[in-house]
Structure 1
């Protein structure tokens, strides 16, 4: 399998300041675009870290061939 690239972004904001979240757009070398769905995790630092770990594990479950 070829090397892979994981695209992600993170930013912490006060919970009451987030109005909406949209997709991120990627420009591919072949001229096409791809979209990355952004996700929101809320809670204490510990709760966010625990949920992020679970989300990462679940993400890789979508790709059992890796």
Structure 2
């Protein structure tokens, strides 16, 4: 079974397993809203793809405030 990270987090949370705060966004506007809702100075933005090596391929970015 191949599922995205956000889907795995939803399943784990459903059964009471603690997961980091966050949400999935499908657009820049949605990502901005999620960042605002989290009210954190630092956010991690991750591409949701069925492949390994997201970090090496540039699919994981740390955001420090709005750019």
Normalised by the length of structure 1, the TM-score is 0.26
Bigger relative contact order (CA 8 A; separation at least 6): 2
Q: TM (normalized to structure 2)?
A: 0.26
